[in-house]
Chain A
Amino acid sequence: MIPQNQSKTGGVRVEVRGLRKRLGQEWVLKGIDLDIQPGECFVIMGPSGSGKTVLLKHLIGLEQPDQGEILLDGHRLVDSGIRDRYRMAMVFQSGALLNSLTVGENVGLYLREHRLKPEQEIARIVAEKLELVGLEGMEDRLPAELSGGMKKRVAIARALVMDPQLILYDEPTSELDPVVAVAVVQEIIRLRQRLSATTIIVTHDRDLAFGVAERMAILHHGEILAIGSPDEIRHHPEPTLQHFLTIDFSLKA
């Protein structure tokens, strides 16, 4: 049993041990082992369908493993009270904003529902976080009125409000044009420096992965092909990995 209401500052260590998951008849994760250090920016990269998002959902407790376990600072993720001890946030690929709430209500939801601050203070924090992601004055807009990039930035602001020790990003640059994608990535880097939270990013965007990662893992068909620093990954001899890293559009004769 983990003591409640003991909030910690800084990042959290994430260990994944022998994680296996079956969806239907197919094993989508076939024994994943990872050790992510506190405050580290770790990227999980791989082609579509390799199990990246399923792994990410396990890391925040949205999926339960069939075998294996996930530890946060040595405590099992499934233990009672772990969510009261560690603040974890996830930025979904789609943003996953609550469509019936305004932008301001979405961003302030965590503080309001957990009654962490008075209403005036929540309004101030919401305005501050929205300004941080370049969306000042958008509190009264509905998610339906926002573009894909704006939704993603609101989702980041919503995650920031939690002052997380572990922040997970699922394909943060997908469906964004290059200019907005770079702005979102700059935001991720800036926040990491400010919060010193452990950051885990799932992506198949090679530019993003090599641009932000301190270490990275390559996932392929539910297995880790390689793990190491961006340089180590770049020079890894595994042919499947090299094919994934080097393939490019070359359709013109």
Chain B
Amino acid sequence: MFQNIGEMLLLLGRTLMLAPHAWRERRKVAEQLFEIGNASLLMACILSLFIGGVLALQTGPNLAERGLQSIIGSIVGLSMCRELGPVMMAVLIAGRVGSAMAAEIGSMRVYQEIDALRTMNIDPLRYLVLPRLLAISIALPMLVVFAVLVGWIGGALVSVYNAQIAISFQGYLESLKESVDAMDIFNGLLKSLVFAVVVGAVSCHQGLATLGGPRGIGRSVTKAVVNSIVLILILDYFLTRLLLYIS
């Protein structure tokens, strides 16, 4: 895996050098954005609604026993935007979009489509990797915004309608507004941007490194998803430490 990280960083560096071509590739970026949004938005909303709800359900009754149910809004609010929103969405995207990227690029490699691009003097990094990396870097933070908002709604529904918690919607919202500020939202978006780059780079690298036939494609897809999730969780710890230190 660590050899893969070195190669993946090289791929990322070489792709970032192609950033001046980004505007030229806008049509492909838009197509990828549509693919990612289409594949993930509904799933992201459903997932976040239930994560927000479960968070309120797990903490609410215990807090209510101690008369602290008024802070549920801040617990759900901060957890969703600082941690659960970015991490859960990144894991979802790694599974849904990263795997598709690795499979598509992997099959293009196996069936010589990438060789064909190279014979036409078309750089596969510019043609394939740059649009995907850009699209995922735009799409994941946007999905996180949706996920956080829907997660807050999920927490609110449980907090208001669960008999053991039963606080008012106004109270939940007040608690949330008191604790969550712009910096928390920024933290979540920054994390999601980093995770998006990780998922995009890992998945494209695994696709380009595919060897053999269909079995090789399957192996690349598995490695893309597993490596992405492991890196997301490791980086999450260090990013959290860094952001806490800064704030």
Contact = CB atoms under 8 A, between A and B. Distances in A.
Given A83-B121, A110-B122, A62 B115 contact: yes
A109 B122 contact: yes
* Dominant secondary structure of chain A at its interface with chain B: loop
A94 B111 contact: yes
A34 interface: no
Interface in A83-113: 83-84, 88-90, 92, 94, 96-100, 109-110, 113
A88 B111 contact: no
Contacts of B120: 89, 109-110, 113, 158, 162
Contacts of B112: 92, 94, 96
Given A98-B108, A99-B111, A113-B127, A92 B116 contact: yes
A98 B113 contact: yes
Interface residues of A, number: 22
Contacts of B118: 61-62
Interface string B103-125: 01001100111011111111000
B122 A96 contact: no
Contacts of B117: 98
Interface residues of B, number: 15
Contacts of B107: 99
B127 A96 contact: no
B119 A62 contact: yes
A90 B113 contact: no
B115 A96 contact: yes
A114 interface: yes
Contacts of B113: 96-99
B119 A90 contact: yes
Contacts of A99: 107-108, 111, 113
A92 B115 contact: yes
B116 A98 contact: yes
Most chain B CB neighbours (cut-off 10 Å) among A61, A92, A96: A96
Given A83-B121, A99-B108, A113-B120, 6 more contacts: A57-B115, A92-B112, A92-B116, A99-B107, A110-B122, A114-B121
17 contacts: A57-B115, A62-B119, A83-B121, A88-B119, A89-B119, A92-B115, A94-B111, A94-B112, A96-B115, A97-B113, A100-B104, A109-B122, A110-B120, A110-B121, A113-B122, A114-B122, A158-B120
Interface of A: 57, 60-62, 83-84, 88-90, 92, 94, 96-100, 109-110, 113-114, 158, 162
Task: Please list the 4 inter-chain residue pairs (A to B) with the smallest Cβ-Cβ separation, ordered nearest first.
Answer: A96-B112, A96-B116, A90-B119, A83-B121
